[in-house]
Amino acid sequence: MGHHHVSSSAMFFNVLVALLILTGITVGTSRIDFGAANMMIAMAIASVKASLVMAFFMHLKWDTAINKIIFLSSFLFLSLLFIFTFADHATRRMDTQWHVTKAPVDKQWVHPSQLVGK
């Protein structure tokens, strides 16, 4: 079947050791409070671990360009979901004075299930 890359056992073992050490570091850093950076640090370490798995265990390092693009673009498109959703949430409270209506509410809110069948 030609040119497929066969990785050495030693390389796989080194990656495993690195992953286990990074797991230890994940636990270790979680004991220390870095404030707002906590999440960033945890996700950075996890990303390094994930990159190791992808590059070596999943052979992505030696795979075709199109396969790399496809898999990595899934993270890119996922980030769009994250960015816009969180942008909405983060700015939702900033603008209440813009569209709060001062008109009196004349009807009481009714649970939707009570409207069915009427």
State the minimum distance, in angstroms, from the CB of residue 112 to another protein. 5
Distances 33 to 46, 48, 104 between C-alpha atoms, Å: 17, 21, 47
Is position 10 an interface residue for another protein (rule: CB under 8 A)? no
State the minimum distance, in angstroms, from the CB of residue 104 to another protein. 20
Between 27 and 106, CB nearer to another protein = 27
The residues, ordered by sequence, that sit 6+ positions from 7 with a Cβ below 8 Å of its Cβ are 56, 59
State the minimum distance, in angstroms, from the CB of residue 114 to another protein. 10
Q: How many CB atoms are closer than 10 A to CB 56?
A: 19
State the minimum distance, in angstroms, from the CB of residue 54 to another protein. 7
Instruction: For tokens 């950075």, name the residue.
Output: 44
Which residues contribute to the site for another protein (CB under 8 A)?
A: 1-2, 4, 6-7, 9, 12-13, 15-16, 19-20, 23, 26-27, 30, 38-39, 41-43, 45-46, 49-50, 53-54, 56-58, 63-64, 66-67, 70-71, 73-75, 77-78, 80-82, 84-95, 98-99, 111-113, 116-118
